[in-house]
């Protein structure tokens, strides 16, 4: 270890570059998906509506991670922590202060943005592995922080808190589940549109410049530190909103629902959906919600192994996740019609 400094060429790229155009769906496809999301709940049972709500919520959380990783090329294995902060903010505000549920969402978003921004402050010194490491530690430490005795009065300690599900307002004849589904859908859509525009904006281009080559980006005048922290904050904020929606949907928060496993799931969702492809988030969410159910049907306790094996299959066979599958099928379709 005699050399004081070591010069390395940038060998490992953090994330493969995704062209900006390839990040979203075309208008036609988007409208079809939207129509399906609007109409399907009218014809299915409450349990399925609940599952669809969870699908949207996890989709939102995966989307948040996607902005961070696919957009700015930073990693986070600690999304479960921000999700937890969001969920607890809502639960505490609703149960202890009787705040309306809709108002808790922006509060959770702002608090998580602040937490993420502050956590991202040291993170701006960290590249790839170090950031993954710090967030990994955050995710592992979060349940213990939530169980702290000092906070027990507010958080309910190990027991957690029970959250009341809101009724539909203005006497709209919808069940609680259906109402909350549409409520979630509206929020998710708004955030999705915000995210798409964010990535198309000046900030989005700055994120991507940092992702592709940090040094070149700073040479072009991008404030690397600011944008890296900003990406972290935005991602944490959106995850927080997902967390508070999740708390209302599940009607319960407890420290052990927000373990490292949740962080893995969200990370997995992003990889399966395709890093940097925003619509893939919902595919990834579907994967992390339904695959464990199937796996547990095969054998209890096996779900982790099935998760892991599938993740390996994805990174070997379709490293770009659902985006790759979507592109493949897109390329196949016109050829078939020509024949």
Q: Find tokens 């696919």 and name the residue.
A: 70
Answer for which of 154, 194, 290, 312 binds other proteins (CB under 8 A) is 312
Is residue 220 a contact point for other proteins (CB under 8 A)?
no
Q: How far is CA 204 from the centre of its chain?
A: 17
Tokens of 283: 């595919």
**Contact status: 291 vs other proteins (CB under 8 A):** no
Residue 319 sits in the site that holds other proteins (CB under 8 A): yes
Strand partners, 252: 162
Distance CA 85, CA 228 (A): 21
Q: Which DSSP symbol is given to 41?
A: G
Is 327 among the residues that bind other proteins (CB under 8 A)? no
Residue 118 binds other proteins (CB under 8 A): no
Q: Which of 193, 294, 315, 333 binds other proteins (CB under 8 A)?
A: 315
Tell me which stretch binds other proteins (CB under 8 A): 39-47, 57-65, 93-101, 298-306: 298-306
**Both tokens assigned to 190:** 């708004």
Distance, CA of 55 to CA of 293 (rounded, Å):
13
Tell me the backbone φ, ψ of residue 213, rounded to 5 degrees.
-165, 105
Q: DSSP label at 69?
A: I
Q: What contacts 23, CB < 8 A, 6 or more positions away? A: 70, 196, 199, 276, 277, 278
Q: Considering only the stretches 28-36, 45-53, 93-101, 300-308, report the one whose residues sit in contact with other proteins under the rule CB under 8 A.
A: 300-308
By CB under 8 A, tell whether 138 contacts other proteins. Answer: yes
- Nearest distance, CB of residue 200 and other proteins, angstroms: 23
User: Shortest approach of other proteins to residue 223 CB, angstroms?
Assistant: 18
Name residues contacting other proteins, limited to 230-289 (CB under 8 A).
Answer: 260, 264, 267-268, 271, 275
Token pair of 17 as six digits: 């570059």
The gap between the terminal CA atoms of the chain, to the nearest Å, is 65
130 in contact with other proteins (CB under 8 A): yes
How many residues bind to other proteins according to rule CB under 8 A? 62
User: Least distance to other proteins from the beta carbon of 316, Å?
Assistant: 7
**Residue 139 vs 286, nearer CB to other proteins:** 139
- For residues 318 and 325, is the Cβ–Cβ distance under 8 A? yes
Query: Rule CB under 8 A: is residue 13 a binding residue for other proteins?
Result: yes
194 is an interface residue for other proteins by CB under 8 A = no
CB 164 within 8 A of CB 247: no
For residue 144, state whether it binds other proteins (rule: CB under 8 A).
yes
CB of 57 to other proteins, least distance (A): 21
Pick the closest to residue 76 from 310, 293, 260 (CA basis). Answer: 260
Residue 15 sits in the site that holds other proteins (CB under 8 A): yes
Residue choice 40, 102, 172, 309 for contact with other proteins (CB under 8 A): 309
75 or 113: CB nearest other proteins: 75
3-state secondary structure of 252: strand
**C-alpha distances in Å from residue 290, one per residue of 169, 295, 328:** 31, 9, 24
Short-list 260, 232, 248, CA closest to 80: 260
Of residues 56 and 314, the one with the C-beta less far from other proteins: 314
- Cα–Cα distance measured from residue 292 to residue 194, given in angstroms and rounded to the nearest whole number: 31
Smaller CB separation from other proteins, 49 or 123: 123
Using alpha carbons, list the distances in angstroms from residue 91 to 46, 163, 186.
23, 6, 21
Residue numbers at the binding site for other proteins (CB under 8 A): 1, 3-16, 69, 75, 77, 122, 125-126, 128-130, 132-134, 136-138, 140-141, 144-145, 147-150, 213, 215-216, 260, 264, 267-268, 271, 275, 299, 301-305, 307-309, 311-312, 314-316, 319
């Amino acid at each position: 270890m005699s050399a004081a400094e070591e010069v390395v060429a940038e060998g490992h790229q953090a994330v493969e570059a995704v062209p900006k155009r390839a990040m979203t769906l075309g208008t036609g496809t988007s409208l079809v998906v939207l129509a399906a999301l609007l109409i399907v709940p009218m014809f299915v049972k409450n349990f399925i509506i609940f599952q669809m709500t969870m699908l949207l919520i996890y989709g939102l959380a995966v989307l948040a991670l996607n902005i961070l990783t696919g957009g700015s090329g930073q990693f986070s294995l600690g999304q479960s922590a921000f999700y937890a902060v969001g969920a607890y903010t809502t639960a505490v505000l609703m149960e202890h202060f009787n705040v309306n549920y809709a108002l808790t969402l922006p509060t959770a978003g702002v608090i998580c943005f602040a937490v993420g921004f502050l956590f991202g402050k040291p993170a701006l010194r960290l590249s790839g592995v170090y950031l993954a490491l710090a967030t990994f530690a955050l995710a592992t430490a979060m349940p213990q922080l939530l169980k702290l005795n000092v906070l027990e009065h507010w958080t309910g300690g190990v027991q957690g808190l029970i959250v009341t599900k809101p009724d539909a307002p203005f006497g709209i004849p919808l069940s609680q589940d259906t109402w909350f589904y549409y409520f979630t859908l509206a929020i998710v859509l708004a955030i999705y549109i915000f995210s798409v525009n964010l990535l198309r904006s000046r900030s989005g281009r700055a994120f991507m410049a940092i992702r592709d080559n940090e040094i070149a980006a700073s040479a072009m005048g991008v404030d690397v530190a600011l944008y890296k922290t900003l990406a972290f904050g935005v991602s944490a904020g959106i995850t927080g909103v997902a967390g508070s929606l999740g708390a209302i949907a599940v009607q319960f928060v407890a420290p052990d629902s927000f373990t490292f496993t949740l962080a893995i799931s969200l990370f997995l969702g992003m990889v399966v959906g395709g890093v940097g492809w925003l619509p893939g988030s919902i595919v990834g969410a579907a994967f992390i919600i339904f695959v464990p159910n199937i796996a547990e049907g095969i054998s209890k306790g096996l779900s982790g192994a099935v998760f892991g094996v599938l993740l390996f299959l994805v990174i070997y066979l379709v490293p770009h996740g659902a985006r790759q599958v979507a592109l493949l099928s897109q390329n196949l379709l016109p050829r078939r019609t020509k024949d």
